[in-house]
Each structure stands twice: as C-alpha cells, then as structure tokens.
C-alpha cells in the first residue's frame, strides 16, 4: 500500500515536472520580452521626467562613450557625425518642433530622439532627412552603453517579495501543470493494481488545477 502511494506521488510529480520543463524555455523567452518592454517603458518615463539640464548631461555622457560629443545648447548635442535633438517628453513631437530643428544649417546628420511623434512631423522629417530615434533605438543605445539607471524616476514602490512569490505560485498558468499531472494519474489508475490511490491523488491535482484556474492570479 505505501509503495502504491509513493508511486502515485512520483508519477504525478514526474508528469507535472515534464510539462513544466517542456514549456520552461517558452515562458523564459516571453518573460524576457515582457521584462525588456517594461524596462524600456520605465526608461522613457524616467527620461521624460528629468529636467532639461539633467537630460542633456545624461545623453552627453552616453554619446561621449562612442565619440567626442559636446553640448550645443539646451537639449542639443553634437559630435563629428551628427546633431542630436532631445525631445523626450510625454507629448508627441509636432511639425512645429521639426520646423525649429530644420533652421539649423549644417551638413551633419540631424537625429531626433523622442518618445512619440505625430504623423505630420514624421512626414516632415522624411522630407528634411532628419533621422528619428524612438523607444527601441533609445533603449538599445543606453543599454549598450551600460548606462541604464539603477532606479527609474516615477517607478512605483516595489511590491513585497513574499507577495510576488505568492502570485508566482498561484498564477493561472500553473494550473496546466496540475491538470496534466492529475490526468496522467487518473489514466494510470486503469493499469495499476492499486487504482484507489491514483484516483485520489489524481482528483486532488485536478481540483487544485480548477481552483487555481478560477481563483489564481492573472499572468
């Protein structure tokens, strides 16, 4: 009898672990993608909240890692290759903003760094050969320079670690592990000389899967 109980537990555990192992890489990739998007959003908010002086100083240090860069004016930088215009704010860049950039006469490439830009401004940039860098380019630039802030402005207070672990354990996606483990135990009850234990533990796993699916935390 104890051997049958142990076998049922082992079978259920192996089944649940197998499903988890098969989907681990996929979950890891999705987690990293979501983590990157979250970090990028935090960075753009952080840059928008910085004062003009701090924003200029921050990008001066970033660009100076690649080329000798100097401050050309408020929210403007220049080096041997380009002029950089820092329009990192919550409001979209407009055609009027682009008109102001176009007044600078230079043979260097003009590059606009911004969070958002409206369609009229985008079309005007194309006509005037002004390159646009938005979220992905800005995030890649700062990350490659190893200049991501340790703490982002506007970031909410970190949640309690215990609460985070609890949410991870009882997230709705974990119901799949219990469901598959329970089904395999119930199927095993058809070929074992002691089906009672497999039926009991399989039913417990299925019930757990249902409870987590209904009441668990959304992913």
Instruction: Write the pLDDT tens digit of every residue in 11-51.
Output: 555 555 555 555 555 555 555 578 888 899 999 999 999 99
Per-residue pLDDT for 177 more than 80?
Answer: no
Confidence of residue 165 (pLDDT cuts 50, 70, 90): low
The domains of the chain are located at: 2-31+161-215, 51-144
Confidence of residue 161 (pLDDT cuts 50, 70, 90): low
The residue ranking higher by pLDDT, 32 or 181, is: 181
The C-alpha atoms of residue 67 and residue 59 are separated, in whole angstroms, by 12
The residue ranking higher by pLDDT, 214 or 142, is: 142
Q: Which of 28-37, 135-144, 155-164, 177-186 has the lowest mean pLDDT?
A: 155-164
Per-residue pLDDT for 182 more than 80?
Answer: no
Q: How confident is the model over 106-135, as pLDDT tens digits? A: 999 999 999 999 999 999 999 999 999 999
Q: Tokens 């299925």 — which residue?
A: 206
The C-alpha atoms of residue 219 and residue 167 are separated, in whole angstroms, by 9
pLDDT of 36 reads 87
Percent of the chain with pLDDT over 90: 45
pLDDT of 148 reads 92
Confidence of residue 86 (pLDDT cuts 50, 70, 90): very high
- pTM for the full predicted model: 0.60
Strand ordering across the sheet containing 82-87: 70-73, 76-78, 82-87, 109-114, 130-133
pLDDT of 102 reads 94
| Average of per-residue pLDDT values in the chain | 81
pLDDT of 181 reads 76
Cβ atoms of residues 214 and 25 within 8 Å: no
**Domain formed by 51-144, architecture:** 3-Layer(aba) Sandwich (3.40)
pLDDT of 21 reads 52
- Which positions ≥6 away from 31 have C-beta within 8 Å? none
Strands (E), the chain: 70-73, 76-78, 82-87, 109-114, 130-133
């Amino acid at each position: 009898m104890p051997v049958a109980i142990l076998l049922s537990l082992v079978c259920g555990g192996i089944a649940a672990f197998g499903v988890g192992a098969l989907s681990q890489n996929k979950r890891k990739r999705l987690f990293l993608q979501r983590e990157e998007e979250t970090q990028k959003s935090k960075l753009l908010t952080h840059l928008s909240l910085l004062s003009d002086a701090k924003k200029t100083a921050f990008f001066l240090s970033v660009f100076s890692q690649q080329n000798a860069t100097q401050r050309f004016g408020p929210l403007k930088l220049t080096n041997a290759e380009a002029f950089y215009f820092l329009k990192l704010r919550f409001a979209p860049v407009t055609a009027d903003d682009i008109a102001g950039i176009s007044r600078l006469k230079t043979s260097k490439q003009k590059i606009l760094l911004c969070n958002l830009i409206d369609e009229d401004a985008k079309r005007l940039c194309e006509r005037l050969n002004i390159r646009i860098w938005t979220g992905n380019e800005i995030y890649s630039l700062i990350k490659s320079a190893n200049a991501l802030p340790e703490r982002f402005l506007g970031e909410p207070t970190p949640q309690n670690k215990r609460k985070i672990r609890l949410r991870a354990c009882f997230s709705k996606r974990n119901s799949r592990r219990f469901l598959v483990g329970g089904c395999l135990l119930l199927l095993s009850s058809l070929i074992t000389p002691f089906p009672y234990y497999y039926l009991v533990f399989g039913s417990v796993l299925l019930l757990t899967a249902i409870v987590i699916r209904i009441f668990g935390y959304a992913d």
